[in-house]
Structure 1
C-alpha cells in the first residue's frame, strides 16, 4: 500500500509536468514497482492481470480497495476502505499522503503541506497580520471557491491583504474556468457550497452539472441543484485546493457557523491553522474526512498536530464516515495508544449539538 501511495503521488507530479499520463518512459519507477506487485497478486489469486496499464491502475485507485476484485483486499484487510485518488477532482487523497509519510517520505512531499508552505511563504512579510491574513484567505477559499478576479481582489483589498498574498492566490490557487467545465459556455455553481459544478453524463439528474465536493454531496440537506454563475472572468480554485482545503472546509464551516449562531466564541484556523476551529479558547476541533479509519488512526496517533496544544482536543469526523459500518469503533481502537489517545472522537453532528458545552470545557 505504501508503494502504491508513493506511485500515485509520483504519477500525479508527472501529469502536472506533462499535462497527460502516458504509458512510456515517463511512468515513475515507483508506479512500475506497484504495477508489478499488483500483477503478481492477481496472478497468485488465479486472476487476470488488470494492472499492466498505468491508466487502469489510476482508475482503480478512484474506488475503495475492497472493490478491486482482489481477495487480498477484502474481508479483514486493514485498508479495505482506502481510496487513493479523488474520483471527481482526480488528485491524490489525504490517505494517500498519510501512507507516503508512513513509508518514510517527508511531510514536505505531501501536496497539502506544499500548499500550506507556499501560502506561508507569501505571508512572511505580513508581520502581526500573519494569522489574520491566513484566516481571511482560507475562509474566502472555503466560501468562494468559484469567484471572479475582480471579486477576489476587491475582497482582499477591503480586508487589507498584502498584494504579494493576493498575487499568490490568483496566480497559483485559482485557475480560469475551463470551457469543458461549463454548460453551453456558462459556469454553474452548486447551490449548497457555491463551488463550480462539472457537467455530468446523467443530465436528467444533474441538469446544471454535479458538485465535485464529496463533503457537500454527503450532507444531509444535499440536493442536486445548481444555478448559473453570472460573473465575468470566472475563476475556480485548483483541484488540489478543492480537495485539501475546500472539501474539508464544508464541515469546518458547519461547526464554525453553528458556534457563531449560538453566540459561542469561536475562531477559524487559529494561529495559522493550529486546528480548524477553536471553541472558547480551550477546545480545538480538527475535521478529518478519511474513508479509511485505520489510515486516519495511524496518522493522528503519530502526530495530532496543533490539537495536542488544546486542553480538549476534538477529532471530528463527518456523519457520512460515522455511518460506515465499524468506522468509529475502528478509529477509537486505533487511537488508544500514543499522542492520539487524548483525542475526543465526535461526529460533526455531535460537535454542533454540544457546541456550548465544548466551548466552556
Structure 2
C-alpha cells in the first residue's frame, strides 16, 4: 500500500454537534473492510495489490467484495460532486493514509465524527485501529490483523503454565516497546536470559527486521533520546518516528548508530505495540514511581495496566465516536475489574475538541470512567485511593 502523510496532520474544527449514524456508516465500514482485506493479502499472503479483477487460478487481483466497495465510494463521490476516488485501487489506498475529511467529504463521514480518522498508517502501510473497528462485524471479516500477527507468539506462550506465560508476555512486550531499535547484544541481554529460547527466537525472527539504509541520515541512524526509536528528517530538523513522542517531547538525539549494527521492530509490531505502548509505559512507570503497585499487561493483555481491582485500558483513537462505539459494544478485559478506567493521553485529548465528552456520550454507559492520563495518575496515586 502506498505511504503518505501521518494522521492528525489537519487542524481540528468544532465537531461537538456530531451524532451517531445508522445505515449510512455502512459505506465507511465497507471501505474499512476493503482496507483490511487487502492488508491481510499483502501482510500474510505476500501478494501485491493489483487493480485487475481476480479470476480463477489468479494469485492476485480484486474480488467481488472489493469491487462493490470501490463502486459504493465512486457512487457516493459522484452524487456529492467529488472526484471519483473509487475508480483506481492504488489511488484509493493512498487517500486512506489521509484524514477522511480531507478527501471524502460525505455526510456519512461528518455525521459519524470521522473527519480526522485515517484508515491506513502512513509510515507503515498498516490499517489503523480505527479501520479495524469500523470494519468489525462487516461481512467477510474474521480474526483481527493483530491476532494474526501475534498468533505464533501466543501459541508458544500457551504451552507454558499460565503464570509463566503471563510473565513472559509482559517481559517481551515491555522490552519491545522500550527497544524499537536495538542491537543483538541489547536483545540478548534483555530477553535471552528472561524467556525460553523458543519464545525469544520468535521475537528475533518475526518481531524484528533489518534497518533499511533509507533510514540513515548523513550515513547513520539517529536515535531518539526519549523513546529509543529512529528519527528522520523533518522540515525543521530531526523528528522522531513515534507519534506519541513527537506530540509530547521536543526532538532530541544525542547518538547515532550504523544501520547494519541494529534491528528495528517490524511494521505491524510498531503499529500495535510500540505506538500505543509509549503512553502505556509512561503511565505505568509514573504509577510505579509514586509507589502504586501497578501491573503491566496482566494475563497476557487482559488490560493495559491493573492496580488492584482497577483495570486500565489506554486508547488513542482519533475519533472519540469510533472508540465510544467500540466500548459500547464490549468493554473487553475491563469486565474482570470492579473499577474500570478508559484512559486517553493528555496530548490526544488536547488535540480533539470535547474528546472525553463525545467519548462518554457515544459510549452511553456508566460502568466505565473516561479520564486523561494525568487524571488517572492523580486518582490512583493519591492516598485516598488506598494504593499509593
Report what 1:354 is aligned to: 379
CA distance in 2, matches of 1:118, 1:298: 30
2:159 alignment partner, one of 100, 114, 125: 125
Q: Secondary structure at the match of 2:340?
A: strand
CA gap of 1:9–1:284, structure 2 versus 1, over 3 A, is same
Distance 1:106 1:49, change over 3 A: closer
Shift of 1:195: 1.2
1:254 correspondence with 2:282 = yes
Q: Cα–Cα, structure 1 residues 313 and 77, in superposed 2: closer, same or farther, change >3 Å?
A: closer
Q: Tell me, yes or no, if the aligned pair for 1:264 and 1:359 is still in contact at 8 Å.
A: no
325, 336, 339: which one aligns with 2:353: 325
**1:95 & 1:77 partners in 2: Cα distance?**
12
Q: Which residue of 1 aligns with 2:266?
A: 238
Closer/same/farther in 2, CA of residues 291 and 27 from structure 1, 3 Å limit: farther
**Unaligned stretches of 5+ in structure 2?**
1-27, 54-59
| Match in the other structure for 2:244 | 215
Residue 91 of structure 2 is aligned to residue 63 of structure 1 = no
One of 322, 332, 336 as aligned partner of 1:305: 332
Which residue of the partner structure matches residue 66 of structure 2? 31
Q: Note the residue ranges of structure 1 that are not aligned, 5 or more in a row.
A: none
Counterparts of 2:168 and 2:197, CA distance in 1: 11
Alignment of 1:169-248 (within 5 A): 169-200=203-234, 202=235, 205-207=236-238, 210-219=239-248, 221-223=249-251, 225=253, 227-229=255-257, 233-248=261-276
- Say whether the 8 Å CA contact 1:278–1:284 is kept in structure 2: yes
Counting matched residue pairs gives 349
Q: CA deviation at 1:81?
A: 2.9
Say if 2:183 is the partner of 1:156.
no
Q: Per the alignment, do residues 319 and 113 of structure 1 end up closer, same or farther by CA in structure 2, a change over 3 Å counting?
A: same
For residue 313 of structure 2, the aligned residue among 282, 286, 304 is 286
Tell whether the 8 Å contact from 1:294 to 1:330 is kept in structure 2 after alignment: yes
| Structural mapping, 1:99-110, within 5 Å | 99-104=134-139, 108=143, 110=144
Q: What CA distance in whole angstroms lies between the structure 2 residues aligned with 1:51 and 1:60?
A: 10
CA drift at 1:49:
1.3
Q: Quick check: 1:11–1:27 contact (8 Å CA) kept in 2?
A: no
Q: Does 1:316 align with 2:343?
A: yes
Does the Cα contact within 8 Å between 2:219 and 2:258 map onto a contact in 1?
A: no
Map Cα deviations across residues 202-225 of structure 1 (whole Å, 9 max, x no partner).
Answer: 3xx234xx3222222122x33364
Answer yes or no: is the 8 Å Cα contact 1:148–1:232 preserved in 2.
no
Check conservation: 2:77, 2:104, Cα contact below 8 A: no
Instruction: Give a deviation string over 1:15-57, Cα, whole Å, max 9, x none.
Output: 3344644333434333322221111111112232133121221
Shift in Å at residue 65 of structure 1? 1.3
Q: Deviations over 1:181-217 (max 9, x none)?
A: 22244222222211122455x3xx234xx32222221
Q: Does residue 1:53 correspond to 2:88, yes or no? A: yes
Does the Cα contact within 8 Å between 2:213 and 2:259 map onto a contact in 1? no
Q: Is the CA contact (8 Å cut-off) linking 1:107 and 1:113 kept in structure 2?
A: no
Give the SS at the match of 1:316.
strand
Q: Bigger shift: 75-84 or 163-172?
A: 75-84
Q: Displacement, 1:254?
A: 1.0
